[in-house]
Structures are given as structure tokens and as C-alpha cells.
Structure 1
Amino acid sequence: MQDDPTPTELTKAVADFLRNDITPLISGHQAFKLRVAINILDLVTRQLTLEAGSDAKEIARLSALLGMTGSVMELNRALAARIAKGEVDLATPGLAEHLWQTTMDKLAVDQPNYASYKRELEGEKGG
């Protein structure tokens, strides 16, 4: 374990520097490429911040659903195999909820500004 700053703090600092100090200085295609780089850094920051917690929750849901333990990848492969064999479908208790929550967790990292995702979050807070 390294001391501060953390990887999350580092990626956020670089993204903020590029966004606030460098973006105003360039235009055209270089500005586009800079926005892409900033988006990548923002994505990595969200992954570092959210991934461990969402993976742990996904493992817990999958373990309960499948009655086995393993890594996220192993459990998802087992789920996919059971779906392919027809052993599990949307009528299986807990599957639809698991798929929905997994989708929401992935959107939180990949597309947190996606309009439908934001609407769902607001619905969860209000409901």
C-alpha cells in the first residue's frame, strides 16, 4: 500500500488539471482528443472509486442466486451457462433484480450522466 495521494486522487487531479488549465488553451481536433482523454481519466476514477463495492455486492447476489462461490467472472460464467441451458430464466427468484442492480452499478461507472440512468436514480430516491 502506498501513501497518499491515492490512485483515485491522482487520476482526478490530472483530469481536473487538463479540464481546467489545458482545455482553454487548445481548439479543434486537439481539443476533441483532450476531451476523450479527460473522459477516460474520469472513467478510471469512477472505476477506482466504485468497482470494489459493486463487485462485492455482485458476488453476494450471484452467490445467493447460484448457491456457489467464486470471482465475479467465474460466477457470471456460471450464470451464463445456466441461462444457456435453460436452468435459469427471468422467472428465477432474484435474477431480474440482480440483472437490474448490476446494470445500474455498471452505468454508475460507465455512463453516470445517461438520462435514463439519472431518471431511475431519481425514481429510487422518490420511491
Structure 2
Amino acid sequence: MITHPTALELIDAVIGFIEQRAAPQLKDRDAFHARVAVNALAAVRREIEFGPAAEAAAVERLKAILGRDGDFIELNEALAAGIQDGSIDAADPAVAAHLKASIIDQVRIDQPNYSGLKALTG
């Protein structure tokens, strides 16, 4: 198993290269695309770093709500189906808390500087 460089270290190196070396040489549309690339890489980095813990927490919440075991995909689908068919009340405090926590985790990964995140966590 390769221990260095890690995926996160590689992503950080590419982000650093784009921000420090490449982007300053670019103009107009290419500079914009460089910023988009940096943002995309940063989102991938956060997904690698925080995604597994967020998913594990969601699975535990879903198990408690549904009263059964399963992986994230099947439990999430069961929750959605239950809400859709009315067998699960979306206004149930446990369901609402799960949905809020899931949204917060996703926004922390996708857009950690989003101003609404403070409102959700405050």
C-alpha cells in the first residue's frame, strides 16, 4: 500500500499549483476556469475527508428511524419511500432532525462558506 502522497496531499498540491503558479498567468475565461477547477478539487477533498463520517452518522440515524439495518442507499430509499407513501411522517422530530443533519453535512462538503450554513448550525 502506498502511504505517501495521500489522495488529500495530491489534491492539495494540485490546488496549490493552480492557485500559486497557473492562475496568476491566466486571464479572463481561463482564469475563471482555474477558479472553478480549484473549487471542484476542494469539494472532492472535503468529500474524501468528511463524507465517510457524514454517511456513517446518517446510517445510524436512519437505522433508529426505520428500526432496521441496511446500508446508506437502501435505508435512504426506504425513508424516501415511507415519506412518499405516508407511512413515515416527515414532521416526526427524529425525521426532521435527520434531514436537517444530512443537509448540514452535505452543505459543509459542497459549500462550507455558504451563509445559510451558519443559520442552520447557529
- C-alpha root-mean-square deviation of aligned residues, in Å? 1.2
Aligned-pair distance for 1:82?
A: 0.5
Q: Does the 8 Å contact 1:19/1:38 carry over to 2?
A: yes
Tell me whether 1:35 sits opposite 2:8 in the alignment.
no
Count how many residue pairs are aligned between Structure 1 and Structure 2.
Answer: 122
1:120 Cα deviation after fit: 3.3
How far apart, CA to CA, are the structure 1 residues paired with 2:80 and 2:105? 19
Alignment of 1:95-114 (within 5 A): 95-114=95-114
Is there any run of 5+ residues in structure 1 with no aligned partner, and where?
none
1:112–1:118 CA contact under 8 A, matched in 2: no
CA–CA distance in 1 between the matches of 2:25 and 2:31?
A: 9
Relative distance call for 1:17 and 1:119 in structure 2 (3 A) is farther
TM-score (norm. length: structure 2): 0.93
CA distance in 1, matches of 2:5, 2:118: 30
CA contact (8 A) 2:83 2:90 kept: no
Gaps of 5+ in 2: none
Q: Is the 8 A contact 1:59 1:72 kept in 2?
A: yes
Which position in structure 2 is the counterpart of 1:91? 91
